[in-house]
Amino acid sequence: MCALAAYFGIWQLFGNSPHTVAFDIESWENKSWGLHNIERDRLSGTVATFADCSRVKQATVTHFGHYFIRTSQRAVHYVYRRPANILYEVDDQARTTTVWRCCTWDEPSRPLPDRQCRGKAKDQLGDAIRVGAGAVAGIPVIRYRATGKDLHEAAYAPQFGCDLLEERSAKYNLIGIPTSWVHFIVRSYVPGEPKRESLDPPAGYAVRKKPLLSP
């Protein structure tokens, strides 16, 4: 639970060096044997990562039924502060801040970055081959693809410790119909320590306190 609170599901994508990224994630799942029942989600936002591994995430999440029909939309705003291990869940519409006190958590070990980002690709994709180079958000990247029948590709930025800047994955059923798709891409990447004031809960919001989160 603590690691989940620290990362909020997608924060593991953004590395631990201080920087701010704007990103999009598009995903869908085919819930039928045809193409008429596809549930789709779109998530767009920013994540600021600090040198002490504190993080601030703000995003908009939109859900679509039958691929095109928008059924819901919500904003998310989270602040995770280290070394205090405090999580602020901010509702900007209701002007409330919920404070969660987290237990400590250990970050999983990652391979040291290398010039070709092979270690990062192997750690994330498993058996993978280099398929080219290019640029994402104006930053040079090296692209890798996992071997196997399903699609899983990723692009890493060597100049920024092999941070992940794009990822695509798709799965297929036995007759070749796609059953799911996920596309993550960084739209902008600004290296350097973000503004510390973004780690403070908004002034004037009602504050609610929750108990300690357990592992």
**pLDDT more than 70, % of the chain:** 84
**pLDDT more than 90, % of the chain:** 56
Task: Establish whether the linkage from the previous residue to 191 is cis, with ω within 30° of 0.
Answer: no
Predicted confidence (pLDDT) at residue 12 exceeds the cutoff of 70: no
Q: Which residue has better confidence, 7 or 83? A: 83
AA letter at 152: H
Indicate whether this model's pTM tops 0.95.
no
Task: Report the alpha-carbon distance of residue 70 to residue 55 in Å, rounded.
Answer: 29
Q: Mean pLDDT, to the nearest integer, of 81-102? A: 89
The model's pLDDT over 130-158, given as tens digits with 9 standing for 90+, comes to: 999 999 999 999 999 999 889 999 999 99
Buried b (16+ CB within 10 A) or exposed e, 131-144: eeeeebbebebbbb
pLDDT confidence of residue 33 = 64
Lowest mean pLDDT among 47-56, 178-187, 205-214: 205-214
Read off the pLDDT band of 11 (50, 70, 90).
Answer: very low
Q: Mean pLDDT, to the nearest integer, of 57-74? A: 91
Residue partners of 55: CB distance under 8 A and separation at least 6:
6, 8, 11, 47, 48, 49, 78, 79, 80
pLDDT confidence of residue 77 = 93
pLDDT confidence of residue 125 = 93
Predicted confidence (pLDDT) at residue 8 exceeds the cutoff of 50: no
Cβ neighbour number for residue 210 with a 10 Å cutoff: 11
Task: Report the alpha-carbon distance of residue 117 to residue 145 in Å, rounded.
Answer: 13
Residue partners of 183: CB distance under 8 A and separation at least 6:
24, 25, 26, 27, 166, 167, 168
Range of 10-24, 25-39, 57-71 with top mean pLDDT? 57-71
The model's pLDDT over 37-51, given as tens digits with 9 standing for 90+, comes to: 889 999 999 999 999
The full set of domains in the chain, from first to last, is 2-213 (2.50.20)
Q: Mean pLDDT, to the nearest integer, of 110-123? A: 86
Cβ neighbour number for residue 191 with a 10 Å cutoff: 14
